[in-house]
Amino acid sequence: MKKANKLVKVKAHRKQMYGPGTRICFSLARGTEKNKEQVTTWFTCRDWINDVLIANKNNTDHNSYHAYGVDPNPDYNKIQLLIAVSTSLNTRLLSGLRIINIYEELAGFKKRSHLEKVKIAPRTGTVTTWLLIGPKEWMKCSQLTSMVTFILRVATKLDNNFDGKTIDDLDAFWKTNVGKPKRDNYGYIDWDISSTAKFYKKWRVLMENYNYIFRRLGDKTLYPRLKVRGWHSPGGICSLSEFKSQIPTLDKRFKKACENAGADVK
């Protein structure tokens, strides 16, 4: 972690649709350590990140995307996730990072994700901005990137932090903390929490079988053009967890792995 007086500097995007939210927002950045820039506006909806990745991989016409504050064709070897979170939730965000690290270890990734604080304008005293630097395997498909943003957002909503060290510790944590429905500020059942309760056993299977599920699958398969037609595509982790990513080979392999592991495939 960098010292407070040596924050990573990121040049803000020229157009901001939304300011950073009161809980958590996401954006994308690229560049070297000394020259980073934000390539999308802040998004309150995680699906935008998925759809931007899909559109860029397909080299689609970005005129409409520019209207939403998106730069075309970022360098995917250098792309990184920006996170703006309410400062009061920083410990929850770090809890989410520990969860991500557990899945990275389970999948056999050689590197582990870490967070670095970022200096980017405009900023208020109630929001902290972070840069997530992690293994390239999370960029294999938009569904995996979505898994990262989903876990981080869920972590900010839980009442407890994850402090375990193993996948069994994590399963026990999920069971305790998402097992009962939780209502949001509007009185509705929180969709993130209920989805985590439904899918977390499948996420273990996904990461345990990462090499089998994604072997020999390239961008042409994992970023199909058919998904670029509109926002809110099936490019997220929840669609994949229901075997509805619209990538037949991916859905088939994941479902088979779940069946072999005895996980619910309904």
Residue 212 belongs to some domain of the structure? yes
Residue 255 belongs to some domain of the structure? yes
- Tokens linked to 235: 């490019």
CA distance 213 to 52: 23
Contact (CB, 8 A) for 95 and 134? no
Total structural domains within the chain? 1
Residue 266 belongs to some domain of the structure? no
- Look up residue 188 and give its DSSP letter: S
- Look up residue 266 and give its DSSP letter: -
Crossing angle for the helix pair 47-57 and 142-155, to the nearest 10 degrees: 160
Q: The domain containing residue 204 runs over which residues?
A: 4-261
- Written in H, E and C, the secondary structure of 98-112 is HHHHHHHHHHCCCCC
Residue 137 belongs to some domain of the structure? yes
What local confidence, expressed as pLDDT, does residue 257 receive? 97
pLDDT in tens, the chain (266 residues): 444 457 888 888 776 655 555 578 888 888 877 788 888 878 877 877 887 787 777 766 444 444 455 555 666 667 889 998 988 999 999 999 999 999 999 999 999 999 999 988 655 568 889 999 999 999 999 999 999 999 999 999 999 999 999 999 999 999 999 988 777 777 778 899 999 999 999 999 999 999 999 999 999 999 887 666 555 678 899 999 999 999 999 999 999 999 999 988 87
pTM to 2 decimals?
Answer: 0.90
Residue 214 belongs to some domain of the structure? yes
